[in-house]
Amino acid sequence: MPNIKNIELPDIGDFDEVEVIEILVAVGDTINAEDSIITLESDKASMEIPSPFAGIITELKVTLGDKLKQGDVILSIQSEEAKNTKNTKNTENSAEIVDTEPKIMPIIVPDIGEFDEVEVIEILVNAGDELNAEDSIITLESDKASMEIPTPVAGKVIDVQVALGDKVKIGALILNIESVAVEAQTETIAETQVETPTPAKLIPAAAPTPEALNQAVSTLPKGDSHASPSIRKLARELGVDLSNVTGTGQKGRVLDADLKGYVKQILTAGTIGGALPKVPVIDFSKFGETETLALSRINKLSGKHLSACWLNIPHVTQFDEVNIDKMEAYRQAQKAQGIKLTPLVFIMKSVVEALQQYPRFNASLDESGENLILKKYLNLGIAMDTPKGLVVPVIRDVDNKSLVELATELAETSAKARNGKLKPADMQGASFTISSLGGIGGTQFTPIVNAPEVAILGVSRSFNKPIWNGEKFTPELTLPLALSYDHRVIDGAQGGRFMADLNKILKEADYD
């Protein structure tokens, strides 16, 4: 005869009270034994509490936020005593139970989507293990994703029929499990094995918009999805809102494969930049008086370009200091003869000499990212500050021009930049860029690579540095340099050698 039973909070360890953070069932739901009914959270962990028997929920005794202790009533359930059942604590609905004697059940590979065979990369159980329904038993991996396969029934593992590295397909035997209530579970097994792995999570979806990607990133799951504590923890670590993930387990439960498949779709459908959370909009006027200034057209264009460069290029920056006493002596001697040469022209000539020795720095990646385009020309972009913003005009064929020719062209180009007279063609075709802040100040900075180039040299203000020569300190005019490069093309050793040779060229060059 049907009777009403109260499900109480069991012994959950050394906790006086724990908070209800999720209610997984509702009045009227029909549940099976071991189905999770609530999720509790202590200061150390979260845990799901299962129902000890099957039945229909008649009343919920808790609400979100309640603090519970051992023995508190969680809910009331209408249950029928099972026939031929010796263990009344685990009684299930007698209409569902046909045979409670332990029987051996084969667990097979369910429908895993459009894959002929997939490899077993992890075996998560051993013979003799006691399992709950939905516990993962093996991990499979295709060329597109990995997925954990759960057991649809609880019981004891008799033997494992697969080995690491095996190729399996739908219907292949994974293991045998000793389970009770076999006939009552047969239909559930069939349903679960059809719906557990979801082809949808592995088939590439249409690329989501940046807004959709932003929505997918959240600091905490919203808590309105059916998932185990381990899945919730993984979701928090990945920054995924579980309410956006479609669960394919029983009662819409989010499985490990669902979560990983969702993350794979996000990563393959859009760039990392598209998934960045938006900066919050703040009304600064509430803190004090403000003024809004419109960005110049150059500011807007350069801002977008630099953001794209920073997001798409894995930057590395190496620093060095060069003794430029010899260069400065020559420059001052030329100045005495009425020839004005800035330090930048010496740096330009030294850079092109180094680029000839290291052609990877004078190159670009092709669109596929799999080929390097080596440029046989030596055109240098020179970053210039103007009243309207940063511009980078190009000085062409630097290797074929003298110091005086470069100084003259630099002066003319700088005047055009200040007066807004540069044409688009004047800012195209660079193979390497130099950004010099020597006339402004500072000891070092990290320049951003000007894509599609793969490297940029930053130059700071020179200064006299005391150097110990073995007997006393002597001043050396020292020029700080910073080389930023695309780590996909240039490794640290190559960057170090380039800087060492550039240092030597600047220090020892014969300008006469």
Q: Is the peptide bond before 199 cis (omega within 30 degrees of 0)?
A: no
CA distance 356 to 242: 54
SS (H, E, C) 282-348: CCHHHCCCCCCCCCCHHHHHHHHHHHHHHHHCCEEEEEEEEECHHHHHHHHHHHHCCCCCCHHHHHH
CA distance 175 to 131: 12
Q: Which of 470, 472, 469, 480 shows the shortest CA–CA distance to 503?
A: 480
Q: Which two tokens stand for residue 342?
A: 């800035």
CA distance 93 to 24: 20
DSSP code of residue 183: H
DSSP three-state, residue 139: strand
* Contact of 119 with 141, CB cutoff 8 Å: yes
Read off the amino acid at residue 489. V
SS (H, E, C) 331-388: HHHHHHCCCCCCHHHHHHHHHHHHHHHCHHHCEEECCCCCCEEECCCCCEEEEEEECC
Read off the amino acid at residue 159. D
| Catalytic residue chosen out of the listed positions 226, 305, 315, 487 | 487
CA distance 327 to 344: 11
CA distance 219 to 304: 27
CA distance 50 to 252: 16
* Contact of 53 with 91, CB cutoff 8 Å: yes
Phi and psi for 43 in degrees, rounded to 5?
A: -75, -5
Q: Which of 383, 369, 484 shows the shortest CA–CA distance to 433?
A: 383
DSSP three-state, residue 512: coil
443's torsion region: left (phi>0), alpha (psi -120 to 50) or beta? alpha
Read off the amino acid at residue 405. E
Beta strands in 392-494 (DSSP E): 394-395, 432-436, 455-459, 463-468, 473-486
Phi and psi for 434 in degrees, rounded to 5?
A: -120, 130
CB atoms within 10 A of CB 149: 26
* Contact of 396 with 409, CB cutoff 8 Å: no
Q: Is 487 a catalytic residue?
A: yes
Catalytic site positions? 487
